[in-house]
Amino acid sequence: MARRIGILGGTFNPVHIAHLRGALEVAEQLGLDELRLIPSARPPHREAPQATAEQRLAMVELAVAGELRLAVDDRELRRAKPSFTYDTLESVRGELAVDDQLFLLLGWDAFCGLPTWHRWQELLEHCHILVLQRPDADSEAPEALRDLLAARSVNDPQALAGAGGQIAFVWQTPLAVSATQIRHLLAEGRSVRFLVPDAVLAYIHAHGLYRGQTES
């Protein structure tokens, strides 16, 4: 039987409740067999003084532990250089059966940035795209995406058919939480309790992450 696999990429610096609720709610709504969170690699000079790739991965692993619908996929961190989403999709697709359905989850802000991505017009050859609303982001779609939306979007995410090629907007509990906000709160010595799972909070404190740094 064809499987339904979702993937949510991100820096997860750190992973927070909006990532996790969005992923879980979409997995439930669409009856996904598995939703994989895929932490991205970043150029090493940008890691300090935040969290290393290994630490970001460890936090995602702690966050999804015990939640059977959510999994972690570390393939981007195992590569020598940062991967393009196109390459990741191709690599995941290569491990699936031809009729398995692959869903790429993108927050609205990430979706709006799509036209700057490597081979973005070919992403839909490998997957469907599910767009998550993001209450803390602008609402206008960029000009470059209008034709794509007109040609490929469907109203009902449940109606996405075939192995890929279409775009749907999904509703999930709107949570205006960002990793940037969490890093800022921690840098100011404030609490981020309830914005991240307790196990992630404990990890952040145990490793002294995001303390007293300045960033944009």
Interacting residues with ligand ATP (CB under 6 A): 8, 10-13, 18-19, 22, 106-107, 109-110, 132, 134, 175, 177-180
Place of tokens 């339904």: 4
Q: What is the 3-state secondary structure (H, E, C) of 122-144?
A: HHHHCCEEEEECCCCCCCCCCHH
> In angstroms, what is the minimal distance from the CB of 52 to ligand ATP?
15
Helix locations, 82-197, DSSP H? 85-93, 108-112, 143-152, 179-187
> In angstroms, what is the minimal distance from the CB of 174 to ligand ATP?
7
> In angstroms, what is the minimal distance from the CB of 1 to ligand ATP?
29
Cis geometry, peptide bond prior to residue 14 (ω within 30 degrees of 0): yes
> In angstroms, what is the minimal distance from the CB of 98 to ligand ATP?
27
Residue number with CB closer to ligand ATP (36 or 134): 134
Residue number with CB closer to ligand ATP (114 or 160): 114
Closest CA to 175 of 1, 19, 14, 8: 19
> Tokens at residue 112, please?
């709006």
Residue number with CB closer to ligand ATP (142 or 162): 142
Residue number with CB closer to ligand ATP (163 or 185): 185
Closest CA to 186 of 201, 166, 175: 201
Closest CA to 209 of 191, 186, 175: 186
Residue number with CB closer to ligand ATP (4 or 134): 134
Residue number of the CB atom closest to ligand ATP: 107
Residue number with CB closer to ligand ATP (161 or 190): 190
> In angstroms, what is the minimal distance from the CB of 206 to ligand ATP?
21
Closest CA to 157 of 109, 117, 96, 104: 104
> In angstroms, what is the minimal distance from the CB of 189 to ligand ATP?
19
